[in-house]
Amino acid sequence: MQKVKRIVERPWGRRQRGGYIFLRSHLLEVLKKGEAVELDKVVVGAKQLQKLISLLPCEDCLLRANGNLEIETIISVPIQCKDGVFRMSFRKPNKGYRQFMSIVNGAWLPKVATRVVVLRPRKY
């Protein structure tokens, strides 16, 4: 019997709307390292999730774990403050580019998952 190896990955992410906003490219790099992904006690298969995330049209995506793993496209909008410094705000894209997926807990898991990637985002 093989032991399950838990790999803790900390990609840059921002806490927003009950989930985390990740850059799609950073998230794809993390998904390559394991067979399953865990976010707030929701576990799904990494290979199929990687294929779905690569199809998203926007660079940013919002991940939530509300019993299921929810993935939603989101775009960043620069806002200029009074002192001339730009800050980033996030909003939902227009109707044509809006994507939403809800994946059931335990979907696409292999029979024996030996490497589980645990997502614990780092703030940016």
- Provide the pLDDT for residue 94: 87
Chunked in runs of 10, what are the mean pLDDT values of the chain (124 residues)?
87 91 95 94 95 93 95 92 86 88 94 91 80
Distance CA 94, CA 71 (A): 16
R_g (Cα) of the chain, nearest Å = 15
Q: What sign has the CA pseudo-torsion 119, 121, 122, 124?
A: positive
- Provide the pLDDT for residue 81: 84
What's the predicted TM-score (pTM) here?
A: 0.86
Distance CA 101, CA 78 (A): 26
The domain locations on the chain are 5-113
- Provide the pLDDT for residue 1: 58
Which run of H or E residues covers position 48? helix 46-54
DSSP-assigned letters across all residues of 50-91: HHHHHT-SSSEEEEEESSSEEEEEEEEEEEE-TTS-EEEEEE
Q: What sign has the CA pseudo-torsion 36, 39, 44, 49?
A: negative
- Provide the pLDDT for residue 124: 62
